[in-house]
Amino acid sequence: MDLAKVNSIREAFKRAGHAHVFRYWDELNPRSKTRLLSEAQTIDLDEINKLVARHVLIDSASELSGDKLDDLEPAPFIQNPSNGGDILRWDKAIKTGELAIRAGKVAAFCVAGGQGTRLGFNGPKGTFPVTPLTKKTLFQVFAEKIRRSSKRYDTVIHWFILTSEINHAATVQHFEFNNYFGLPLESVHFVVQGLIGAVDQKGKIILSGKDTIARTPDGHGGSLRALVRSSAIEKMEMLGVECISYFQVDNPLIRIIDPAFIGFHLEEDSELSSKMIPKAYPLEKVGHFCVQGGKTVVVEYSDMSETMQKATNSAGALHYISGSVAIHIFDRDFVARVGGGEKHAELPFHRANKKIPFIDLAGNIQNPDEPNGVKFEMFVFDALPLARNAIIIESIRADDFSPVKNSTGVDSPKSCSEDMLRSYARWLTAAGVNIEVDTSGLPLINFEISYSFAADQEDFVKQWHALSNKPHIVDGLIIEPEI
Ligand code: UTP
Average pLDDT, stretch 14-38?
A: 97
What value does the mean pLDDT of the chain take?
95
Q: Do residues 158 and 107 make contact, with C-beta atoms less than 8 angstroms apart?
A: yes
Residue type, 311: A
Ligand 1: which of 193, 246, 250 to mutate, judged by most atoms within 8 Å of the beta carbon? Answer: 250
Q: Do residues 216 and 198 make contact, with C-beta atoms less than 8 angstroms apart?
A: yes
Q: Using DSSP, state whether 479 is helix, strand or coil.
A: strand
- Say what the pLDDT of residue 66 is: 45
Residue 226 pLDDT > 90, yes or no?
Answer: yes
Q: Which long-range contacts (CB under 8 A, 24 or more apart) does 23-30 make?
A: 23/207, 24/207, 24/210, 24/211, 24/359, 24/363, 27/210, 28/210, 28/211, 30/1
- Say what the pLDDT of residue 62 is: 46
Which H or E run includes 295?
strand 295-299
Residue type, 56: V
Name the pLDDT band for 306 (thresholds 50, 70, 90): very high
CATH class of 67-408: alpha beta
Q: Do residues 30 and 36 make contact, with C-beta atoms less than 8 angstroms apart?
A: no
pTM (2 d.p.): 0.95
Ligand 1 atom with least separation from CA of 406: 13
Ligand 1 mean position to 90 CA, how many Å? 31
Name the pLDDT band for 122 (thresholds 50, 70, 90): very high
- Say what the pLDDT of residue 65 is: 44
Name the pLDDT band for 454 (thresholds 50, 70, 90): very high
What residue spans define the domains of the chain?
Answer: 67-408, 412-483
Ligand 1: which of 142, 248, 355 to mutate, judged by most atoms within 8 Å of the beta carbon? Answer: 248
Q: Do residues 114 and 249 make contact, with C-beta atoms less than 8 angstroms apart?
A: yes
Distance CA 331, CA 334 (A): 5
Residue 354 pLDDT > 70, yes or no?
Answer: yes
Which H or E run includes 106?
strand 106-111
Nearest by Cα to 131 from 438, 453, 397:
453
Residue whose CA is at the smallest distance from ligand 1 atom 23:
114
Average pLDDT, stretch 270-276?
A: 98
Report which DSSP code applies to 89.
H
Q: Which range has the worst mean pLDDT, 132-141, 297-306, 444-453?
A: 297-306
Average pLDDT, stretch 425-432?
A: 98
- Say what the pLDDT of residue 59 is: 59
Distance CA 103, CA 113 (A): 29
Average pLDDT, stretch 102-129?
A: 96
Per residue in 48-93, pLDDT tens?
999 999 999 985 444 444 447 778 999 999 999 999 999 999 999 9
How would you classify the pairing of strands 295-299 and 287-292? Answer: antiparallel
Distance CA 66, CA 376 (A): 22
Average pLDDT, stretch 332-359?
A: 91
First-to-last C-alpha distance (Å) of the chain: 58
Per residue in 316-339, pLDDT tens?
999 999 999 999 999 999 999 999
Residue 43 pLDDT > 80, yes or no?
Answer: yes
CB-neighbour burial class of residue 385 (10 A; exposed 0-12, middle 13-18, buried 19+): middle
Ligand 1 mean position to 25 CA, how many Å? 33
Q: What is the DSSP string of 223-254?
A: HHHHHHHTTHHHHHHHHT--EEEEEETT-TT-
Residue 179 pLDDT > 50, yes or no?
Answer: yes
Q: Do residues 303 and 64 make contact, with C-beta atoms less than 8 angstroms apart?
A: yes
How would you classify the pairing of strands 215-217 and 295-299? Answer: unpaired
- Say what the pLDDT of residue 404 is: 98
Distances in whole angstroms, Cα of residue 251 to Cα of each of 37, 379, 415, 420, 442: 37, 17, 12, 11, 19
Which H or E run includes 173?
helix 168-177
DSSP bridge pairs for 330: 244, 272
Ligand 1 interacting residues, C-beta cut-off 6 A: 111-118, 125, 162, 193, 217-220, 222-223, 248-250, 377, 405
Gyration radius from the chain CA atoms: 24
- Say what the pLDDT of residue 234 is: 98
Distances in whole angstroms, Cα of residue 267 to Cα of each of 232, 261, 327, 400: 25, 10, 18, 22
